[in-house]
Amino acid sequence: MINRTASALTNDDRPVLDPFLTPDAAGFDGLRLAEVPFVPELCLHLAEDAIVLRARLEAEVGGALPPPFWADAWAGGQAVARYVLDHPDVVAGLRVLDVAAGSGLVAIAAAVAGAAAVTANDIDPYALAAIRLNAHANGVTVDANRGDLLDGDGDGAEVVLAGDVFYSESMAERMLSFLQRAAKRGARVLVGDPGRAYLPHDRMEVVASYQVSMMGAAEDAQIRHAYVLELFG
Ligand SMILES: C[S@@+](CC[C@H](N)C(=O)[O-])C[C@H]1O[C@@H](n2cnc3c(N)ncnc32)[C@H](O)[C@@H]1O
């Protein structure tokens, strides 16, 4: 089990850090580099305590911030990452988009599995910094893309991956439309989800079901299953 503190990173790691997440920043002190429970081949900078981390980052910037979703490996993301690593043919040699990437876990798994090019997209600037940091920690190249792509169709990606994106009604609505457009233009669309309330499971087919325990965010401690689902165009 890797459980190094983030401050143990060498100077070589520092150029990839964003100004938001420098080794001296309060937020960075609250992260640890750890093995991902369901994907132990990979490691991520995860929050020691997401609530404390958020409070420290807010104190640092002097204002409210969204929850640091990028500092947890969500159950749905872990499921897709596991699936991609176990079925590298899904992404090998292809252009992959990980939408709402958070830590970049899914994107990193795709890069390790042999994708030709991987883009990890998120709207949270801290997530972008975390994606760069985590890609570097795993020795892969991922293009961290900031912005809201959900009104598009995935910009030519041949595979679109989405981990744990159906956690609110408004996000689920926009995400489903986005993924449907991507699937309609021919992209393969895979979603990881532990069965959240807003998962549109009637529109998808389960391709893998995993029994899991104690993985992801603290509030997900009760989760016992995580699924990978395919959306067809
Ligand atoms: C629950 S986290 C999942 C992160 C990651 N996929 C995983 O499974 O660990 C959801 C992520 O969606 C991002 N997000 C929310 N709205 C978004 C949007 N419109 N476009 C891109 N990302 C978005 C959040 O910033 C957050 O990082």
Q: Which two tokens stand for residue 223?
A: 């989760």
Atom index in ligand 1 nearest the CA of residue 77 equals 8
Q: Domain 75-231 is of which CATH architecture? A: 3-Layer(aba) Sandwich (3.40)
Choice between 197 and 59, residue whose per-residue pLDDT is larger:
197
Q: By the 8 A CB rule, do 121 and 96 touch? A: no
Q: If pLDDT is split at 50, 70 and 90, which confidence band does 218 have?
A: confident
Q: Residue 161, Cα to own-chain centre: how many angstroms? A: 9
Hey, which of 20, 53, 74 would you mutate to test ligand 1's pocket, going by the most ligand atoms within 8 Å of its Cβ?
A: 74
The verdict on the CB of residue 20 being under 6 Å from ligand 1 is no
Going by alpha carbons, the residue nearest to atom 11 of ligand 1 is 100
Between the CA of 2 and the centroid of ligand 1 the distance, in Å, is 25
Q: Where are the domains of the chain?
A: 3-69, 75-231
Whether the pLDDT of residue 172 is over 90: the answer is yes
Going by alpha carbons, the residue nearest to atom 19 of ligand 1 is 148
State the Cα–Cα distance between residues 182 and 161, nearest whole angstrom: 11
Lowest mean pLDDT among 14-18, 191-195, 197-201: 14-18
pTM: 0.90
- How much is the pLDDT for 72? 94
Going by alpha carbons, the residue nearest to atom 23 of ligand 1 is 100
Q: If pLDDT is split at 50, 70 and 90, which confidence band does 208 have?
A: very high
